[in-house]
Amino acid sequence: MKILVVGGAGYIGSHMVRELLDNGYDPVILDNLSSGHRWAVPGERLVHGDLGDRALLAHLFSTYQVSAVLHFASFIQVGESVGAPLKYYHNNVANTLNLLSAMQEAGVTRFVFSSTAAVYGTPSEIPLTESAELRPENPYGRSKLMVEQILADCAHAWGLRSACLRYFNAAGAHPTAGIGEAHHPESHLIPIVLQTALGMRDSVSINGDDYPTPDGTCIRDYIHVCDLAAAHTLALRYLLDGGDSLTCNLGNGKGYSIREVIDVCRAVTGHPIPVTIAPRRAGDPAYLVASAQTAVRLLGWKPQYPDLASIVETAWAWHRPKENSLFRSI
Ligand SMILES: NC(=O)c1ccc[n+]([C@@H]2O[C@H](COP(=O)([O-])OP(=O)(O)OC[C@H]3O[C@@H](n4cnc5c(N)ncnc54)[C@H](O)[C@@H]3O)[C@@H](O)[C@H]2O)c1
Ligand SMILES: O=c1ccn([C@@H]2O[C@H](COP(=O)(O)OP(=O)(O)O[C@H]3O[C@H](CO)[C@@H](O)[C@H](O)[C@H]3O)[C@@H](O)[C@H]2O)c(=O)[nH]1
């Protein structure tokens, strides 16, 4: 069964491509390699192109009998989005409209969307369920919420069925496939901490220690990238079996402060990992922790890496040969 994976050469998308192959699906990847990597995916499955290219999308849908689309392609940095909102609205919203229009023209009606915990903003409840208030605090989160709303309108208008998967913080690496997180430049906390353990950085700069949390640093819920991929397969099966549109949080339900993340990384790597304190980063809510009970109940999802140390161990196994962090940019 042919599945179009948009953004499939990126961090989460490339793990998804492995997961699809392991489960007998036939993925085709569309990626412009703006932050993804040719080495992360089987070359013969990659179409190098941009989501903004309507003619290319029409060509893809007419060439392949696509059963469903998994959409990972977007810009992803919370802090950057505050200073460059139009960049985010253009790629994350306008380009997604292109994709949805091409799907409508081709009669493809199943869609799995990479949404985010950033749609919630400062939590109205703890842990966050999907019915919590949606008040994103940065353009990145707003761009994802806009797409969720567009998907609901398309469901009503032309029968699109979508799974909006609101991931919390993706981390870790595939234990055997030789792929992992490699953003250039890296902005995510865990890879930065591990690069510091490797001596590639002098210290980790903590973005603010005056938040209303027990140790003053931001709390996040970290979820293994392979557990995310497994949830997508379950959501895909659910839609292929005729399931109605759904929205699910994907997280482990346990929050770790930045200082706690660094402590776990110290324990895993055996390195002291120096820190410095920097000002707050714009757009950061203090606390984001998931209730993933909807995914458990509706999809039968069960994370295989429920604790942070087991997630960091896989990330460390990936980052430790330094060339994975340093040189494999394309
Ligand atoms: N990493 C996280 O913690 C996290 C958490 C919540 C949600 N998400 C969402 O998951 C998705 C994947 O995130 P990731 O961490 O793998 O990011 P990533 O940057 O590694 O992957 C995104 C991929 O999309 C491609 N891409 C971007 N714009 C494109 C375009 N216009 N045309 C074609 N390809 C394009 C990039 O080249 C890259 O391969 C994103 O939508 C992100 O918002 C990520
Ligand atoms: O060098 C660093 C890097 C990060 N942080 C902080 O660590 C926390 C986690 O940051 P990061 O790893 O950048 O993740 P988030 O900003 O929480 O965003 C990620 O997780 C979101 C879901 O919660 C996704 O939607 C985003 O795409 C993804 O980038 C935040 O408080 C950051 O300010 C630091 O203090 N120092």
Does ligand 1 lie within 6 Å of residue 167's CB atom?
yes
- Assign residue 255 a region (left: φ > 0; alpha: ψ between -120 and 50; beta: otherwise): beta
Nearest CA to ligand 2 atom 17: 169
Q: Same structural domain for residues 89 and 144?
A: yes
Nearest Cα residue to 282 out of 79, 77, 75, 76: 79
301: CA distance to ligand 2 center in Å?
A: 24
The whole model's pTM is what? 0.97
Q: Same structural domain for residues 110 and 153?
A: yes
Nearest CA to ligand 2 atom 33: 207
What are the tens digits of pLDDT across the range 143-159?
999 999 999 999 999 99
Does ligand 1 lie within 6 Å of residue 169's CB atom?
yes
Nearest Cα residue to 145 out of 158, 132, 136: 136
326: CA distance to ligand 1 center in Å?
A: 20
Q: Is 183 part of any domain?
A: no
Mean of per-residue pLDDT scores for the chain: 96
3-class state of residue 119 by DSSP: helix
Catalytic residue numbers? 140
| Full 3-state SS string of 172-229 | CCCCCCCCCCCCCCCCCHHHHHHHHHCCCCCCEEEECCCCCCCCCCCEECEEEHHHHH
The CATH number covering residue 208 comes to 3.90.25.10
Q: How many domains does the chain have?
A: 2
Report which ligand 2 atom has the smallest distance to the Cα of 170. 20
For residues 161-176, average pLDDT: 97
Q: Is 177 part of any domain?
A: no
Q: Is 182 part of any domain?
A: no
What are the tens digits of pLDDT across the range 57-74?
999 999 999 999 999 999
3-class state of residue 247 by DSSP: strand
For residues 217-223, average pLDDT: 98
Distance CA 248, CA 243 (A): 14
Report which ligand 1 atom has the smallest distance to the Cα of 76. 43
pLDDT in the model for residue 330: 37
Starting from the CA of residue 217, give the closest ligand: 2
Q: Best of 113, 169, 200, 250 to mutate for ligand 2, by most ligand atoms within 8 A of CB?
A: 169
Q: Same structural domain for residues 11 and 141?
A: yes
Report which ligand 2 atom has the smallest distance to the Cα of 188. 12
The CATH number covering residue 155 comes to 3.40.50.720
Q: Same structural domain for residues 141 and 270?
A: no
- Can you give the residue range of the structural domain that contains 165? 2-171+223-250
ipTM above 0.95, yes or no: yes
Does ligand 2 lie within 6 Å of residue 188's CB atom?
yes
Q: Same structural domain for residues 268 and 245?
A: no
Does ligand 1 lie within 6 Å of residue 32's CB atom?
yes
Is the predicted pLDDT of residue 246 greater than 70, yes or no?
yes
Q: Same structural domain for residues 40 and 130?
A: yes
Distance CA 233, CA 31 (A): 20
Q: Same structural domain for residues 233 and 309?
A: no
CA angle in degrees (0–180, nearest 5) for 213-214-216? 55
Distance CA 26, CA 271 (A): 42
Starting from the CA of residue 114, give the closest ligand: 1
Does ligand 2 lie within 6 Å of residue 138's CB atom?
no
Q: Is 179 part of any domain?
A: no
Q: Same structural domain for residues 239 and 268?
A: no
Q: Is 214 part of any domain?
A: yes
Strand-pairing partners, residue 112, are 70, 163
Starting from the CA of residue 179, give the closest ligand: 1
What are the tens digits of pLDDT across the range 106-127?
999 999 999 999 999 999 888 9
Does ligand 2 lie within 6 Å of residue 289's CB atom?
no
Distance CA 320, CA 316 (A): 6
Q: Same structural domain for residues 194 and 136?
A: no
Q: Best of 76, 92, 189, 219 to mutate for ligand 2, by most ligand atoms within 8 A of CB?
A: 189
Q: Same structural domain for residues 264 and 147?
A: no
> Which tokens is 78 given?
């919370």
Q: Is 299 part of any domain?
A: no
Does ligand 1 lie within 6 Å of residue 91's CB atom?
yes
Q: Is 283 part of any domain?
A: yes
Report which ligand 2 atom has the smallest distance to the Cα of 192. 1
Q: Same structural domain for residues 115 and 230?
A: yes
Q: Is 184 part of any domain?
A: no
What are the tens digits of pLDDT across the range 267-320?
999 999 999 999 999 989 999 999 999 999 999 999 999 999 999 999 999 999
Q: Same structural domain for residues 108 and 44?
A: yes
Is the predicted pLDDT of residue 213 greater than 60, yes or no?
yes
